[in-house]
Amino acid sequence: EVQLVQSGAEVKKPGESLKISCKGSGYSFTSYWIGWVRQMPGKGLEWMGIIYPGDSDTRYSPSFQGQVTISADKSISTAYLQWSSLKASDTAMYYCARQRWYPDYWGQGTLVTVSS
Amino acid sequence: QSVLTQPPSVSAAPGQKVTISCSGSSSNIGNNYVSWYQQLPGTAPKLLIYDNNKRPSGIPDRFSGSKSGTSATLGITGLQTGDEADYYCGTWDSSLSAGHVVFGGGTKLTVL
């Protein structure tokens, strides 16, 4: 069974850094892209970018280029999404998803709250 | 403003049929496959339809998808109260040098 398990909810202050994770199991982690999707409170889905854990090839949506960093550690089947300096506007639910040319299996989501 | 356009809401009675539209352009829907997702309240999105009209294992045939030109449609028959959710269309967009996934703004389905 394909599973993507994300790290727990985070509460941070503006300016702090953060790295959240997504661990894949039940399939060959290095053979599929992993994507990240943002959902701000009460809003729709926004695709942020993807990484291919097999060779760490990474692509970003123009809206998120330079704002976040996507990485992966194939030795532990885990993908990451990180911020160097959080803003209040980063408050959202973040989902990872296994991706072909479309996201198919999704993680349960990680709620990130940024507040002073 | 989402790249793909969906109606904000649709509603129908239990047992009835509803359709949800998704409109795009030649850089996205017109030249790429469309997928559909169901997001029940407080949960992660779930894949309903991929490659315009294919259903993953476990998705009932009450859900169907179609595509024509730069638009796609999700159909749901035999509506149940458990179908109340937000529905999103998605596809690849190749308008920039690096392609990326785009989603519709979502449609809230109410089963009256």
The 10s digit of each residue's pLDDT in B16-62 is: 999 999 999 999 999 999 999 999 999 999 999 999 999 999 999 99
CB contact under 8 A, A45 and B103: yes
In the structure encoding, which two tokens stand for residue A18, read together? 């953060």
**Residues from chain A contacting residue B33 (CB–CB below 8 Å):** 101-102
Average pLDDT over residues A3-18: 98
Chain A interface includes B7 (CB < 8 A): no
Sign of CA dihedral B58, A100, B39, A2: positive
Residues whose CB falls within 8 Å of the CB of residue B47, separated by 6 or more in sequence, listed in order: A102, A103, A104, A105, A106, B35, B36, B37, B56, B59
* pLDDT given for residue A100 in this prediction: 87
In the structure encoding, which two tokens stand for residue B58, read together? 């476990």
